Structure 1
């Protein structure tokens, strides 16, 4: 079984007044693009968020099949979100991605699932790892998150350093990793597509 965890628990309102997950992107909430984009590559999608986001995110995802993983401590950062989401995920392998990457499509997780070995598969884009759009062995990811958090670090780089995934060079076009977490980024993207 393969899972996806979409990280939407940030308290940031940089992309819109309603928060990045539900910010409008090409006429739909951004998180809807992400969930729809990865759904065909996995058996389940788990959305990690805060309990107070549930109603807005459920409305944004109306009609899509998702499960929720609520952060016990708000604003713990992406490492805490990965841990919470992977604890709910039922798959042996889990694709992790943030809610502000609407260009992520089925192709990326499929390539990473196929390449996964050891603790997973991490894209290498322009020579830099992209650990927040990667596939992980679910149990190994939970353990790495717990160790990282237990040592007092919120850094995704520290989480990644505790794992031994393979790297996959430039698996999809670089724009697939673009995040739209600011009003300016959203405007630029809309201008390009107009």
Structure 2
């Protein structure tokens, strides 16, 4: 069974690449960020938040009163912003912040799997020894996935070298990946297939 010390989470804040986001928008994003962090914290040893530098103070304040800090479920920190406005570089920087072999990458601004689903993704990735990426309607969900950290770092590097900045870039460059589909009536993901990314 995979232990929490082998797992980490990177939470990508909504608006990570949009510098024109309003203060009100950031406030809404902060609430969503807190929700996602609290959801995943019991499963992991650490959480790394990926956001713009100008969002850190607001987001840190939102997390200060959360159950995560109170219960010390996980260490929560912020990734250093290496390239403003570049999601791929931000993700690579966040992955460098942890040594955990398996990392859930979750979006705080869009659809994100529940705690049971993330636990299932971690278990599936650990069993296969490779990244597990959910697929919905034939499309991968790169910000709702569990990655083998070393492979994901290599994939980010390859994507950056090709000037690819969108989230699917990491999936397209993974050496090994299995896909999962979401049952319509269940709160978890079930493994559907194993092999190269569907986008290849």
| Aligned match for 1:90, one of 99, 102, 125 | 99
Distance 2:117 2:26 in 1: 20
The gaps in structure 2 that reach 5 residues or longer are 1-5, 70-75, 189-200
TM-score, with length taken from structure 1: 0.77
Q: Does the Cα contact within 8 Å between 1:13 and 1:20 map onto a contact in 2?
A: no
1:1-194 to 2 correspondences below 5 Å: 1-8=6-13, 10-12=16-18, 17-18=22-23, 20=25, 22-23=27-28, 29-63=31-65, 64-65=68-69, 66-77=76-87, 79-101=88-110, 104-116=113-125, 117-163=128-174, 164-170=176-182
Paired residues, what number?
171
After superposition, give the CA deviation of every residue in 1:76-106 in whole Å (9 maximum; x if it has no partner). 12x2222111100221100001111475321
- CA separation of 1:40 and 1:17: change in aligned 2, threshold 3 A: same
Contact kept, 8 Å, 2:142 with 2:170, in 1: the verdict is no
**Cα distance between partner residues in 1 of 2:9 and 2:183:** 18
Is the CA contact (8 Å cut-off) linking 1:120 and 1:137 kept in structure 2?
yes
**Any idea what SS the aligned residue of 1:167 has?**
strand
Greater RCO structure (CA 8 Å; 6+ sep): 1
Correspondence for 2:192: none
TM-score, length-scaled by structure 2: 0.75
- Whether the 8 Å CA contact 2:135–2:181 is kept in 1: the answer is yes
CA distance in structure 1 between the aligned counterparts of 2:10 and 2:25, rounded to whole angstroms: 16
Other-structure match for 2:191: none
TM-superposed CA distance for 1:13, in Å, is 6.8
Over residues 154-194 of structure 1, what are the superposed CA-to-partner deviations in whole Å (9 max), with x where a residue is unaligned?
13333212112111111676999xxxxxxxxxxxxxxxxxx
Q: Which runs of 5+ in 1 are unaligned?
A: 177-194
Specify the alignment match of 1:184 in structure 2. none
Give, in whole Å, the separation in 2 of the partners of 1:167 and 1:103: 16
Q: Tell me if structure 1 keeps the 8 A contact 2:140–2:168.
A: no
